[in-house]
Structure 1
Amino acid sequence: MNLLFNGRTCYLRNLTVDDAAEMVQLLLRNRDYWAIYEPRHRDSYFTVAVQREKIRESIYQARENREYSFGIFEHDTNKLIGHISMYSIKRLPFLSSLIGYSIDEGYIGRGIATEAVKLVIAFGFEQLRLHRIEAYVSPRNLGSIRVLEKAGLREEGLLQEFLFINGEWEDHYYYAMLESEF
C-alpha cells in the first residue's frame, strides 16, 4: 500500500528499502540530538542493512494494519528530514493508536513536525477510522509538547517513571485526541 500525504511544508510517504541509505544519514546527523529523549542505539543500528530490515518490517506491519511508518520529506528538496509512525494500532473495543515522530535538528521550529502530526492524525481518523489517537512526551521536551498541542492533542496526565531512557526512569505526559475533537 503506497501512501502519500501532502502538506504545505512537507509531505509524508511510506519508506521503501531504497530509502535505507538516506535514513542512515538522517539518523547519524541526529544521533546525539535525538538521544536526549530517546534511548541510545548501538553502532550497528546506524547501518544500511539494519535500516533496510527495519523498513521491511514496517512494510509488513502496514500490510497487517498494525503500524504505519512514514518518512517526512521537505517539499522543495525531497530530502528526508524526519520520520513519523502510527503504531500500536488497536481494534475494537479500543480503536486507538499511538503516534511518535522525530524531526532533523536542522528543521525544528518551522512547523514541519506539527504539520506531519496533523497529516497522520487525519489519516488515523479518516482512513483507519480510529476513535482515539495518543502520544507520550517527556516533560523536558518543550518543543514536542508545543507540537502536540498545536496539532490539537490535549494533556491527560503524567505517567511517572514511565520509560527507561539512557539509564534513567523518565516521566512522560500522556496526550490524546478523540475522533469527536478532530
Structure 2
Amino acid sequence: MISFPFSKTPSVYLKGERLFLREPQWSDYRQWANLREKSRAFLTPWEPVWRDDELEKSSFRLRLRHYSEEARSGNAWSLFLFRRSDNVLLGGITLGNIRRGVAQSGQIGYWCGAPHAGQGYMFDALKLVIPFAFSELRLHRLEAACIPSNLRSVRLLEKAGFLLEGTLRSYLKINGLWQDHLLYSLIEGEEQRRGLSVKTTAV
C-alpha cells in the first residue's frame, strides 16, 4: 500500500468497494477548488478561518508541497477521496501528528464536500484508513476530535468504533473561536473485535 517512486516520495493508494484514496496531485486542483467553493458554507463552521487566497492555485501548490514533505518525513498522510464509478472528488482525510517511540499514535481529520455528505463515503474511507494505520504504519492508537455540536462527526466516529474519552477544553481555534472538542480514540485490535477491519488493496 506504500510505494516509493523514483522521486523517493512515498505514495499511498487505498481501494474500497465504492471509493479509492490517494495522495493529492496537481491535476486535482480544479475539482478541489470547485468542491471547496461549493461547500464553503457547509465546511466553515468546522474548520479554521479560510485565508483570502484559500482556493488559489498558489495556495494549492503550497498544500501539495507540505503534504509531500509530511509524507516523506513519516509525520502525516493526506489523502483525497474519489468515487470509483466516475473519479469524482468527494473530500479528504488526513492521518497526521504521527508519533513514534512509546506513543505509536496518530490523529485523524477529514472533510466531505456538501454534495456528497450523508451518503456514507467518509465511513467507507475510515474503513480503509484504520487498517492502513494499524497494519501498514504499525500504529497502536488513533485519535479524532470534533466539536460537540458537530453531530455528523460524532455519529461517524462512534459508528467507526471510536470511544469517547472526554472533552478537550478550548482545544482548537475553529471558525475564529477557540472551541472545546470531544476526544475519541481507537486502539489497535478494537476495530477487528467490532468487525470494522477491511482489507485494502493497492495497484
Moved more, 87-96 or 24-33: 24-33
Q: What do residues 47-75 of structure 1 show as CA deviations (whole Å, max 9, x unaligned)?
A: 12211220121012111111100001111
Contact 2:145 2:181 in 1 (8 A): yes
Give the whole-Å Cα distance in 1 for the aligned partners of 2:27 and 2:142: 30
Give the whole-Å Cα distance in 2 for the aligned partners of 1:37 and 1:28: 15
What does residue 102 of structure 1 align with?
Answer: 111
SS of the residue aligned with 1:146? helix
1:167 to 173, 176, 192: 176
Give the whole-Å Cα distance in 1 for the aligned partners of 2:68 and 2:178: 31
Give the whole-Å Cα distance in 2 for the aligned partners of 1:159 and 1:139: 10
SS of the residue aligned with 1:140? coil
Tell me the CA shift for residue 13 of structure 1: 0.7
What does residue 79 of structure 1 align with?
Answer: 88
Which structure 2 residue ranges, 5 or more long, are not aligned? Answer: 1-9, 192-203
Tell me the CA shift for residue 166 of structure 1: 2.6
Counterpart amino acid of residue 65 in structure 1: G
Q: Does 1:122 align with 2:167?
A: no
What is the TM-score when the length of structure 1 is the normalising length?
Answer: 0.95
Counterpart amino acid of residue 151 in structure 2: L
Count of residues in Structure 1 that have an aligned counterpart in Structure 2: 182
Contact 2:165 2:184 in 1 (8 A): yes
SS of the residue aligned with 1:101? strand
Counterpart amino acid of residue 54 in structure 1: R
Give the whole-Å Cα distance in 1 for the aligned partners of 2:41 and 2:165: 29
Contact 2:126 2:160 in 1 (8 A): yes
What does residue 140 of structure 1 align with?
Answer: 149
Give the whole-Å Cα distance in 1 for the aligned partners of 2:37 and 2:129: 25
Q: Does 1:69 align with 2:81?
A: no
Give the whole-Å Cα distance in 1 for the aligned partners of 2:127 and 2:35: 22
What does residue 88 of structure 1 align with?
Answer: 97
SS of the residue aligned with 1:36? helix
Give the whole-Å Cα distance in 1 for the aligned partners of 2:185 and 2:32: 28
Structure 1 residues 13-52: aligned runs within 5 Å: 13-52=22-61
Kindly report structure 1 stretches of 4+ aligned residues shifted beyond 3 Å: none
Tell me the CA shift for residue 21 of structure 1: 2.5
What is the TM-score when the length of structure 2 is the normalising length?
Answer: 0.86
Which structure 1 residue ranges, 5 or more long, are not aligned? Answer: none
Q: Does 1:11 align with 2:49?
A: no
Tell me the CA shift for residue 77 of structure 1: 1.3
Give the whole-Å Cα distance in 2 for the aligned partners of 1:173 and 1:45: 27
